[in-house]
Amino acid sequence: MAEHESLEFGKADFVLLDNVSMEEFMANLKLRFEKGKIYTYIGEVVVSVNPYRAMNIYGRDTVEQYKGRELYERPPHLFAIADAAYKAMKRRNKDTCIVISGESGAGKTEASKYIMQYIAAITNPNQRAEVERVKNMLLKSNCVLEAFGNAKTNRNDNSSRFGKYMDINFDFKGDPIGGHISNYLLEKVQCCMFCLVHQLLRGAPDSLLRSLHIQKDPTVYNYIKVGGQIKSCINDGADFKAVADAMKVIGFTGDEIQTAYKILATILHLGNMTFGVDGDVTLIETPKLVSVIRELLSTKEENVEKALLYRTVATGRDVIEKQHTEQEASYGRDALAKAMYERLFCWIVGRINDIIEVKNYDARIHGKNTVIGVLDIYGFEIFQNNSFEQFCINYCNEKLQQLFIQLVLKQEQEEYQREGIPWKHIDYFNNQIIVDLVEQQHKGIISVLDEACMNVGKVTDEVFLQGLNGKLAKHAHYTSRKLSPTDKSLEFDRDFRIRHYAGDVVYSVVGFIDKNKDTLFQDFKRLLYNSANPVLKGMWPEGKLSITEVTKRPLTAATLFKNSMISLVENLASKEPYYVRCIKPNDVKSPLLFEQERCRHQVEYLGLLENVRVRRAGFAYRQTYPRFLQRYKMISEFTWPNHDLPSDKDAVKRLLQGCGFDHDVAYGKTKVFIRTPRTLFSLEEQRAEMVQRIVLFLQKVWRGTIARMRYRRMRAALVILQAYRRYKVKSYIREVNRRFKNVRSMKDYGRHVKWPTPPKVLRKFEEALRSIYNRWWAWTLIKGLTPEETLQVRAKVASLEALKGQRADLGLQRAWEGNYLVSNSPDTAASFTLVSSELQRKDKYMRVLFSCNVRKINRFHKAEDRAVLITDRHLYKMDPLKQYKPMKSTPLYNVTGVSVSPGKDQLVVFHTKDSRDLVVCLQGMVPANESRIGELVGTLLSHFKSEKRKLQVNITSPIQCSMNGRKCTVIVEPKINQSHPDFTKSRSGYILAVPGN
């Protein structure tokens, strides 16, 4: 039973109807269609109603829902049938087939495509390249065959005008390894209505159309005028590109694809070719087309004209050329067009088979090669005018219906007998009588038709009809106007009627003889064989025969088709069949309209109600005992979780007796049969209730199990983690000890030693260890320094802390002399030494911190050269031009801060408490590019720190200062022509011009 669908959508399986009647069947079918449920089961048969709209029920998520599930576990769907066929093939190693039937426009082709897509989606989880190639080929071949074999008709945008049976071969693992396509009776009458012709005209690029000498307007061509008026929602341009791409993927070469286009164009041009008569001579009235056809067929113009106007006939050893009448020329032209299209289509099928067929497969090595067959064949057709093609198509449907009856309805009754279940016999319509009417030897319609075609002399369609009337006069399913003179729906000497299983069909015998003979003049075959195009030449091998060569009479079209149908049915009968029965809800392609009578007629001739009756036969449901127990054993304490009864049959009896359903069931040899759907629904309700309780119990047990497993894993992980952590810690400490064991004796005290990578738990410990080592290393270096070196190191550290990252050159790599005025030339050094000694005696300072020549601004805003001497007590300004005569001193405690710029200049501003800042630029450096700013700042900071005083250091540009109580700004400006730094007055303060680069 299909689950997960409530009764608001109707019954998911027609077998579960309360009363089996046409009214209830139609009501359920209509309800499900209106609710958007287009699929319904009859046991294991899928009934599909064409929705005439795209439905989002074929995606990857849906594929996963049906993959590996039993038929009754999910709502009805094509995927369920496809999966059942695939499982039967894979599990039981059986060949299976899926037979899709229904009338034209019922959705058979779409159903076959979705089945192919599903099989491709569920196979090959490892995505091996070869299997992917085969799957892609099989899907792409669908696209190509539809383009060449499906036609746009007034009933259907994509009507199959040929029958297709595809075998998909699988290896022992269930992966597709190849396939084979068989085609049946391409309907050549509509050769220019096929989809690819429309795609070529409306979708091909202009350059291609020009090379083929054709126009985009379909109404220009006689063969396609009717089809040109058909409006379609299909995008011909996109479809043309898709078909071309698919042909390339399959393996068609560029020349082969171009040849296919040339043949289509030739057929269109042939349709526009007209003939006239000049006296006794037949002429071609459109000579330009002869030249075009000659170019497209790569042959000679005179040969084309000769083949169209003359027929070569051999009489013994003599060969004569017989000129066609206008009527014969037109017949030959049409026969050529149809034959070319048929050969093209058969060649395409053959090329696809060459590529996708299984090659080099040895069953002894690779295992058994199993098959899934998919049959998509034309549906039953009743048109206003029914001819030879409709006769063959409807005969095909009779054969398939007979197969359905034999394999489904007959097997159903036989199952009851096999299981030993008494039941009332159900009558069903056996259409073997109609099949015999068509194909019986000597008496059947095909035999009478072949006999008429073989008669010598002029044979007409009326003669064929007379033969039918003579041999089938007493047949209950055949009649004509001669046999029923009062039946005015039939024309004398033209019509006959067959009472098919799908309804009465009137056939017109006009054209039967010609279509059955399917003759094409040998001249055309020789013309095409002698083409310079090797692809075209290969399609017509019999063209190489000499005109005088005697050949066996070929089989007629009807006999060939009959033989292929018999072969097809035998092939299907050898496989395990699955069925999809397609129904067309209306004739206007509306997604909302459900025409009751239209659908009722299809339900009747498809034998669906008989199928339901036989499936029911007094019992709505049956299942094997093991499967039944597997689904319902949780209902009874005697069968849950496993029973100890002698057999599964006894267990099922105990289960149903306990539920009180023993009166509504019958027990077969291998299956249990349930009479009414109500019992099955009750079982499902009890099962659903018990499943919920079982799930809760299983969840409880499983959660406890998971918790215990998680605890044990966590505990084991913790023990391992602790042991591993101890190991990593010890290893790290041992490694650190090994690497730093002899650092005291190393020249750099281990500075070059690389630290080992610590485990995560010791990262903070490593930081502390590095800090300890760095302190030890610094202490080891410092303890060996002299007092003077210690002062210099402290000054450099102070400078680094204050200026690092803000000034480029701090002078850390050189020795800091501090008192640079002493190191000047001997003349000036002596004068400075004398003055500094006098100042030391007078001011009692202990040491000189820094001295240097500078450029400064005086109180009159003029720049002048001066020297600066900074001791541990004062900051002195001196005049170097007057033997360094002291000019003014500022107590060092009065200095509050120092400002420098971030550039390479030597600008320094000393900030004082009385707002009389000193603005200077250091100069006289040797070498000239040496920077002493870092030394000055570091020395002052170190001294202030030793006296526990704070000195504010600012790195900024421009620098703000106070001159004689007035606020001003000092800006540094590089100038290209500036030879040395100098100050100039500006509106806001001063500008220090320095040499530019």
CATH assignment at residue 675: 3.30.70.1590
Residues in the chain: 997
Report the chain's terminal Cα–Cα distance, integer Å: 93
Selecting among 43, 105, 179, 373, the annotated active-site residue is 105
pLDDT for residue 228? 43
Q: Where are the alpha helices (DSSP H) in 150-231?
A: 195-203, 206-212, 225-228
pLDDT for residue 191? 46
Selecting among 146, 342, 381, 439, the annotated active-site residue is 381
Packing angle between helix 326-356 and helix 301-309, nearest 10 degrees? 120
Phi/psi region, residue 732 (left: phi>0; alpha: psi -120 to 50; beta: rest), is: alpha
Is 102 labelled as part of a ligand binding site? yes
At residue 661, φ and ψ (nearest 5 deg) are -105, 15
- Supply the pTM of this predicted model: 0.61
* Contact (Cβ atoms closer than 8 angstroms) between residue 598 and residue 590: no
Is 105 labelled as part of a ligand binding site? yes
Is 107 labelled as part of a ligand binding site? yes
pLDDT for residue 270? 87
Q: Is residue 7 part of a domain?
A: yes
DSSP 575: S
Selecting among 379, 668, 750, 811, the annotated active-site residue is 379
CB atoms within 10 A of CB 650: 14
Dihedral of alpha carbons 847, 852, 857, 858, sign: positive
* Contact (Cβ atoms closer than 8 angstroms) between residue 186 and residue 161: yes
Among 143, 376, 369, which Cα is nearest to 250's? 143
Phi/psi region, residue 286 (left: phi>0; alpha: psi -120 to 50; beta: rest), is: beta
Tokens of 165: 């049976």
Number of structural domains in the chain = 5
- Residue at token pair 């496809």: 82
Same domain, 404 and 490: yes
Q: How far is CA 483 from CA 384, 464, 467, 509, in A?
A: 22, 15, 13, 16
d(CA 449, CA 439): 11
Same domain, 759 and 662: no
Same domain, 702 and 766: no
Q: How far is CA 265 from CA 14, 193, 235, 684, 801, in A?
A: 50, 13, 20, 62, 90
d(CA 342, CA 185): 9
Q: Where are the alpha helices (DSSP H) in 357-409?
A: 363-366, 388-404
Packing angle between helix 236-250 and helix 326-356, nearest 10 degrees? 60
pLDDT for residue 479? 93
Q: Where are the beta strands (DSSP E) in 773-857?
A: 848-857
Question: Of 781, 810, 836, which one is at a domain's C-terminal end?
Answer: 781
Instruction: Answer yes or no: 962 catalytic.
Output: no
Q: Is residue 296 part of a domain?
A: no
Instruction: Answer yes or no: 965 catalytic.
Output: no
**Which residues in 950-987 are b (16+ Cβ under 10 Å) and which e?**
ebebebeebbebebeeeebebbbeeeeeeeebebeeee
Instruction: Answer yes or no: 979 catalytic.
Output: no
Among 156, 149, 206, 219, which Cα is nearest to 183's? 149
Same domain, 883 and 859: yes
Q: Where are the alpha helices (DSSP H) in 581-640?
A: 596-605, 608-616, 625-632
* Contact (Cβ atoms closer than 8 angstroms) between residue 336 and residue 520: yes
pLDDT digits (tens, 9 = 90+) for 578-609: 889 899 999 888 888 999 998 998 888 777 88
State the DSSP string of 916-978: --EEEEEE--SSTT---HHHHHHHHHHHHHHTT---EEEE-SSEEEEETTEEEEEEEEEETT-
Selecting among 50, 109, 480, 531, the annotated active-site residue is 109
Same domain, 772 and 846: no
* Contact (Cβ atoms closer than 8 angstroms) between residue 163 and residue 183: yes
Instruction: Answer yes or no: 182 catalytic.
Output: no
pLDDT for residue 958? 92
Among 15, 36, 14, 42, which Cα is nearest to 27's? 14
d(CA 855, CA 375): 106
Whether residue 218 has a cis bond before it, omega within 30° of 0: no
Q: Is residue 490 part of a domain?
A: yes
Question: Of 679, 706, 733, which one is at a domain's C-terminal end?
Answer: 706
Q: Is residue 736 part of a domain?
A: no
Dihedral of alpha carbons 856, 859, 863, 865, sign: negative
Tokens of 362: 């040895």
CATH number at residue 47: 3.40.850.10
Instruction: Answer yes or no: 276 catalytic.
Output: no
Instruction: Answer yes or no: 104 catalytic.
Output: yes
* Contact (Cβ atoms closer than 8 angstroms) between residue 524 and residue 337: no
Is 103 labelled as part of a ligand binding site? yes
Is 108 labelled as part of a ligand binding site? yes
d(CA 378, CA 375): 10
Question: Of 721, 750, 781, which one is at a domain's C-terminal end?
Answer: 781
Q: Where are the beta strands (DSSP E) in 572-678?
A: 576-583, 621-624, 665-667, 671-674
d(CA 125, CA 109): 27
d(CA 312, CA 547): 8
Tokens of 310: 């003359």
d(CA 707, CA 703): 6
Instruction: Answer yes or no: 70 catalytic.
Output: no
CB atoms within 10 A of CB 420: 11
Q: Is residue 225 part of a domain?
A: no
Q: Is residue 772 part of a domain?
A: yes
Same domain, 682 and 763: no
Same domain, 753 and 821: no
Same domain, 803 and 929: yes
Q: Is residue 250 part of a domain?
A: no
Is 106 labelled as part of a ligand binding site? yes
Q: Is residue 318 part of a domain?
A: no
The burial of 754, by beta-carbon neighbours within 10 Å (0-12 exposed, 13-18 middle, 19 or more buried), is given as exposed
Is 109 labelled as part of a ligand binding site? yes
Cβ contacts of residue 9 below 8 Å, gap of 6+?
31, 32, 35, 37
Same domain, 804 and 939: yes
pLDDT-flagged residues of the chain (< 50):
1-3, 154, 156, 158, 189-193, 227-233
Instruction: Answer yes or no: 624 catalytic.
Output: no
pLDDT for residue 858? 84
Cβ contacts of residue 867 below 8 Å, gap of 6+?
821, 832, 851, 852, 853, 854, 877, 878, 879, 880, 884
Tokens of 351: 């090329």
Tokens of 878: 């001196």
Which amino acid belongs to residue 904?
K
* Contact (Cβ atoms closer than 8 angstroms) between residue 450 and residue 516: yes
CATH number at residue 790: 2.30.29.30
Selecting among 101, 141, 156, 259, the annotated active-site residue is 156
* Contact (Cβ atoms closer than 8 angstroms) between residue 399 and residue 432: no
Same domain, 605 and 753: no
DSSP 194: B
pLDDT for residue 120? 81
Among 852, 875, 834, 874, which Cα is nearest to 930's? 852
Same domain, 913 and 944: yes
Instruction: Give me the residues paired with residue 165 across strands.
Output: 182, 375
Which amino acid belongs to residue 623?
Q
Specify the 3-state DSSP secondary structure of 386: strand
* Contact (Cβ atoms closer than 8 angstroms) between residue 455 and residue 463: yes
d(CA 769, CA 776): 11
Q: How far is CA 664 from CA 425, 613, 660, in A?
A: 20, 18, 9
Range of the domain at 930: 785-955
pLDDT for residue 131? 58
Same domain, 480 and 455: yes
Selecting among 40, 160, 394, 824, the annotated active-site residue is 160
